[in-house]
Structure 1
Amino acid sequence: MKNKVCKFISVISVAPIISLFVLTAIYLHDRSVFGGVLWYGISIVFLTILPISAYLLEHILPAYKTQGRKGERKLAFVMCIAGYVLGTIVGLLFHAPQGIQLLFVSYLVSGGLLALINSLIKFKASGHACGVAGPCVALIYFFGLKTWYVILLLIPVFWARIAMGRHTFKELISGAMIGATGTLLTILLFMHL
């Protein structure tokens, strides 16, 4: 039973699924952030659909399929970064509302920092923790400090990832700090534009 709960938490806490929850919560709370349903849909394409396609493509692309979990992790990073880069470019080129541009850039900064640290330092900072912590900071920004408690969503993620033997506490803390810092820096940047 414990393994099933851990697996469930791990599946629903991947960055693309969290982005779907976050985008929908913001859209339902304040549609003006999106300027209409079009940018809501575009955001879902680049922050959810394109990144989550990695889990389907992994079964089709032989180079990743033969690597098992390692290949799945690599492809997930590639597709997430592709979605974040393309979303940021589309948002800037087609003048997305500022809140959407902020979300795209925050995902790009956090995901880019995570990829950079994991590849250059050969440290396995948690993508799950990054993909939860950054969006939690974004939710606090959009909903106000009264929603500080969303950070508590990291507790079951930490528990599940440690229980499954996928990460150490240090890797989870590092991932969370990367996501939170990347998003906070993006918010500060946008506040000064």
Structure 2
Amino acid sequence: MNSLMVAKIIRVATIAPLMAFVSLLLLCIFEPAVYGGWFQFSFALLFLVVLPVVAYPLQPIVPGFRDKGREGQRNFAILMGVLGYVFGILFAYVTNAPEGITMIYWIYFISGIGIVVFNKVLRIRASGHACGVVGPISFLIYFLGPIAFIGLLLIALVYWASLKMKRHTLAELIWGSAISFIAVIGIILVFQ
């Protein structure tokens, strides 16, 4: 297997919804108080994993996105992700969800808005992929402690794979990473 194929596998295995699934599952196993029960965990999966994932099969049939190729797919995935995050925040407040999962919804929402602002408003290309990896690893470090620092290795692999496939420049990866890292730190400070 050549290095380009390895890079492609790493990128596919670390798409934002899959990273959300893995991080939510790890929290469910090792820090279940984040959810307060299966009800909140199930809806977190719906809002942070399922809604963003359905963007990929739906994009070819949704007017305004279907004829836009990879860029249409990227834009529709961002839109569906942000909608999921908004629904998650609303759901958290309506159901009086525990603070931990409420924080996670806010982290995803601020990160998603940050990606939109950088890419569409400021016209600075920030990597949504890096954002979708660094955010979950950052909040896993917050909730699980030093053991989650192992995720830094995954971040390094994502950077390598993205650069190898020429999907992003180093600056785009850093911008995307910074957006989610700042969102995590900001939400931690707000909730403290």
Equivalence for 1:40:
41
Give ranges in structure 2 of 5+ residues lacking alignment. Answer: none
- Structure 2 counterpart of 1:7, which letter? K
**Superposed CA offset, 1:135-191 (max 9, x none):** 111001111134323122111111111111110000001111111111111111111
Contact 2:130 2:155 in 1 (8 A): yes
Equivalence for 2:145:
144
- Structure 1 counterpart of 2:179, which letter? I
Does 44-53 or 147-156 show the bigger shift?
Answer: 147-156
TM-score (norm 1): 0.95
SS in 1 for 2:97: coil
Take 1:67 and 1:164, find their aligned partners in 2: how far apart are those partners?
A: 21
- Structure 1 counterpart of 2:56, which letter? Y
**Superposed CA offset, 1:72-103 (max 9, x none):** 01101101101111111111111111111011
- Structure 2 counterpart of 1:26, which letter? L
Equivalence for 1:184:
185
Does 59-68 or 133-142 show the bigger shift?
Answer: 59-68
Equivalence for 1:76:
77
* % identical aligned pairs: 36
Does 138-147 or 161-170 show the bigger shift?
Answer: 138-147
How far is 1:62 from its partner? 4.4
Take 2:181 and 2:3, find their aligned partners in 1: how far apart are those partners?
A: 28
Take 1:96 and 1:151, find their aligned partners in 2: how far apart are those partners?
A: 29
Equivalence for 1:50:
51
Contact 2:60 2:67 in 1 (8 A): no
How far is 1:41 from its partner? 0.5
- Structure 1 counterpart of 2:166, which letter? G
1:130 aligns with 2:121: no
TM-score (norm 2): 0.95
**Superposed CA offset, 1:94-135 (max 9, x none):** 111111101101111111111111111111100010111111
1:19 aligns with 2:20: yes
**Superposed CA offset, 1:46-65 (max 9, x none):** 00000111111112224322
How far is 1:29 from its partner? 0.3
Equivalence for 2:176:
175
Contact 2:115 2:179 in 1 (8 A): yes
Take 2:39 and 2:57, find their aligned partners in 1: how far apart are those partners?
A: 25
Equivalence for 1:121:
122
- Structure 1 counterpart of 2:165, which letter? M
- Structure 2 counterpart of 1:114, which letter? I
Give the superposed CA RMSD: 1.2
Take 2:181 and 2:79, find their aligned partners in 1: how far apart are those partners?
A: 21
- Structure 1 counterpart of 2:60, which letter? H
Equivalence for 1:64:
65
How far is 1:13 from its partner? 1.3
- Structure 1 counterpart of 2:47, which letter? F
Contact 2:31 2:144 in 1 (8 A): no
Number of residue pairs matched by the alignment: 191
